[in-house]
Amino acid sequence: MSAAVLLRKRLTAWLPPALSAGCGVFAWALTGALGWAPGARLAAVLAAALGLMAVWLAESGIVSRLTGLPLQDASCKVAVSLVPFIVFPLSSPYLSHRVFSSFLKGNPSPTRLAALCLWLLGLSVAGSICIKLLLFWRRSDRVTAALEKNSVRILWGGTALYFVVFAGLALLAYSQFRYHSDLAQYNQTLWATLRGDFFYSSLEETSGSYLSTHVSPFLLMILPVYALYQSPITILVLRSLALALAAVPLFYCVRRLTGSGIAGLLLSAAFLFHPEIVSQHFTSGYEVVFVAVFFFAAFYFFMEKRFGLFMFFLLMVLTVREDFIPVALVFSFYSLLKRMPWKWVVAPFAAWIVWQSVVVLIFAATTEHWVFNFYYGHFGDSPAQMVKTIAGHPLYALEETWRLQKSYVYNLLMPMGLVLPWTSLVSIFALPNLATFLARSNDVSLAAGGIAHYSVLIVSALWLGIVSFINRAQQRVPAADRRRTAIIFSVIFITLIGSAAHLWTYNLPLGKPAAAAALDKAIDMVPADAPVASNDGRVFPRLSSRWGLYEPLIWAVPEEPDRLPQGLEQLERADYVILKPFGNPLYNDEGSFSFVVAPGSPYRLIFEEDGIKVYRRVD
């Protein structure tokens, strides 16, 4: 057979699926281009339908060629198009202007919307073809057996790669001034504790102690590592390591529940790339990221009925921060429902009672004012009034929650199939933190496009709910097909996670701010031990290894006029003041720093560039 004839045969065989794929790509690009315009929504829907049909035919042709199945079997008898019809309906709200503008930082262009639609299309096609090959490829059993055998090695290799990549990105973000004063507070707290001042922080608004805001004994556990290199960089690296290591106990949880190491690998990877998890590499060093690895380990040893290790990791969860105290109570309730021996019920409950009492005593000793009205004032001026309002006016509570937190809820649940995690009892571990967060009167995730550092435990618990959902689905198929069923569902979920990549990729450190050079120069002008104040949180992490670090009152609370934490008396202790242009929406920074330019002020301007000013006390 001549080369020309062979080429003609191959082109004839592959031309129909190629043409179908081309039509699908064009239709979905058109969908994205039209989706941003309200007057073109109907045309966008029609283009999406055409695109799905064309992609379905293209996939069927490709799989028919790869597996030898007749085309009618590949297109009609195989539930291949399950993935596209899951991904695209759930992703369709991305075509609206409101959602897009939250991460495109302005009016979305048709080009960028078209690119996103093509990304979603590619993910769907890849996921569908993977499922078809898994079901019908003659070599699939051999490949999956090899992957199962080496799943633990792949796990550790992938974990190491994830850590190296995202720790590197976190350090790059640090060099680009992408972290703010919260990272500085953690660093100053550790730095001061090493020097004998236990949990000291001059950035803390009322008491000079970090304990007045959060009770986090876990910070003491990372102190020996921090002592080796006393810098915010150490905190960022440890945080990335903790997130990466969360995949390990999660893998073992998945493998135990589903019997598949491949499913464990896929679901662990999907968890690490959930927008609310992967974005934690770019938030300001919050200690809450450490809870995921401890929570997964506690749940694994709960399933294994190894009481000692379970209690150890549960106590580690409690030490991370006071936000996670309810986990012990939920474990007690969960043990009761699972008919575990009484020690599994009593011990977590006792841990909850003891640790809750300790936290209350610590807060009573260190906290002068708690800004309840700032967070929950729309429900009342006290916890009791808040409960009364929610119980007496549930519709009002739901309307307020949806008004304030709808972007967060969507970004949280869409990559997990919206309602699927809630089909399992294990999702109750997410309820205390989720309820506390949703009740807030301010959308703290708004600045990050729906991302919040409070989500780590919530996503972890809901992810175990997904694993339990897959386990229940396995029980409905023959035993011989259960492992393959777990892998198929894992492919679907990792496709869903991939479809939400645009919710976190905007955090990637792709360039320094315009004033980066000026900020570098300003920081270099401040001596190592000099007290410094600023209205620019970006400079604080690099200046935080010192005793005197001051910022203005973060939130104005009219209901508490006596709350004057970082008042003039604190700011005026600074020998150096670094200012960016005034206009912070959270506080009156111009009024707070008026003493710098007031008549007779001892401060003199010594540097000005790109809007960044440095003042030095000269008396």
Together in a domain, 355 and 437? yes
407 sits in the region (left: phi over 0; alpha: psi -120 to 50; else beta) called alpha
Residue range(s) defining the domain that contains residue 308: 245-507
- Say if 9 falls within a structural domain: no
Together in a domain, 582 and 472? no
Interatomic CA distance for residues 56 and 124, integer angstroms:
10
Cβ-proximal residues to 169 (8 Å cutoff; 6+ apart), any chain: 281, 282, 508, 509
- Say if 285 falls within a structural domain: yes
CA 430, distance to chain mean position in Å, is: 14
pLDDT, residue 47, reads 62
Q: Which residues of the chain have pLDDT under 50?
A: 1, 5-15, 32, 35-38, 77-86, 89-90, 92-107, 445-449, 555-566
The tokens for 531 are 């007290």
Yes or no: say if 454 and 437 are a contact pair by the CB < 8 Å rule. Answer: yes
Q: Count of CB atoms within 10 A of residue 30's CB?
A: 21
Length of the chain: 619
Together in a domain, 74 and 20? yes
pLDDT, residue 415, reads 78
Together in a domain, 543 and 456? no
- Say if 237 falls within a structural domain: no
Together in a domain, 125 and 37? yes
Together in a domain, 430 and 497? yes
Domain edge (last residue) among 103, 138, 173: 138
pLDDT tens for 589-608 read 667 788 888 888 889 999 99
Compute the Cα dihedral for 337, 340, 346, 351 and give only its sign: negative
User: How many independent structural domains does the chain possess?
Assistant: 3
Name the residue among 542, 582, 598, 596 with its Cα closest to residue 233: 542
Q: Count of CB atoms within 10 A of residue 609's CB?
A: 13
- Say if 309 falls within a structural domain: yes
Interatomic CA distance for residues 377 and 350, integer angstroms:
32
Distances (CA, A) of 100 to 91, 108, 127, 175: 11, 6, 24, 28
Q: What is the pTM of this model?
A: 0.83
Interatomic CA distance for residues 175 and 195, integer angstroms:
26
Together in a domain, 469 and 522? no
- Say if 345 falls within a structural domain: yes
SS3 category, 320: helix
Yes or no: say if 79 and 491 are a contact pair by the CB < 8 Å rule. Answer: no
What one-letter code names the amino acid at 303? M
Domain edge (last residue) among 479, 507, 535: 507
Spell out the alpha helix ranges (H) of 105-214.
Answer: 110-136, 140-149, 151-175, 181-194
Interatomic CA distance for residues 339 and 348, integer angstroms:
15
Together in a domain, 530 and 458? no
- Say if 523 falls within a structural domain: yes
Together in a domain, 341 and 460? yes
The tokens for 394 are 């549930």
- Say if 234 falls within a structural domain: no
pLDDT tens for 75-134 read 554 444 444 444 554 454 444 434 444 444 444 555 666 666 666 666 666 766 676 666
How do 532-534 and 576-579 pair as beta strands? Answer: parallel
Name the residue among 551, 538, 544 with its Cα closest to residue 509: 538
Yes or no: say if 363 and 325 are a contact pair by the CB < 8 Å rule. Answer: no
Yes or no: say if 189 and 219 are a contact pair by the CB < 8 Å rule. Answer: yes
In this structure, what DSSP letter does residue 68 have? -
Interatomic CA distance for residues 449 and 562, integer angstroms:
33
Together in a domain, 428 and 525? no
Interatomic CA distance for residues 418 and 408, integer angstroms:
12
- Say if 8 falls within a structural domain: no
Name the residue among 163, 176, 333 with its Cα closest to residue 246: 163
Together in a domain, 458 and 531? no
Compute the Cα dihedral for 243, 247, 252, 253 and give only its sign: positive
Name the residue among 356, 291, 302 with its Cα closest to residue 333: 302
SS3 category, 612: strand
Domain edge (last residue) among 138, 172, 207: 138
Can you state the angle between helices 482-499 and 140-149, rounded to 10 degrees?
80
Residue with token string 């807030």: 440
Interatomic CA distance for residues 306 and 248, integer angstroms:
18
Helices then strands, each counted (H, E), the chain: 30, 5
Yes or no: say if 373 and 557 are a contact pair by the CB < 8 Å rule. Answer: yes
Interatomic CA distance for residues 388 and 391, integer angstroms:
5
Q: Count of CB atoms within 10 A of residue 86's CB?
A: 18
Name the residue among 277, 322, 315, 308 with its Cα closest to residue 294: 315
Yes or no: say if 21 and 30 are a contact pair by the CB < 8 Å rule. Answer: no
pLDDT, residue 599, reads 86
Name the residue among 529, 558, 563, 557 with its Cα closest to residue 543: 529
The tokens for 259 are 């019997």
Name the residue among 54, 52, 80 with its Cα closest to residue 137: 80
Together in a domain, 363 and 397? yes
pLDDT, residue 213, reads 80
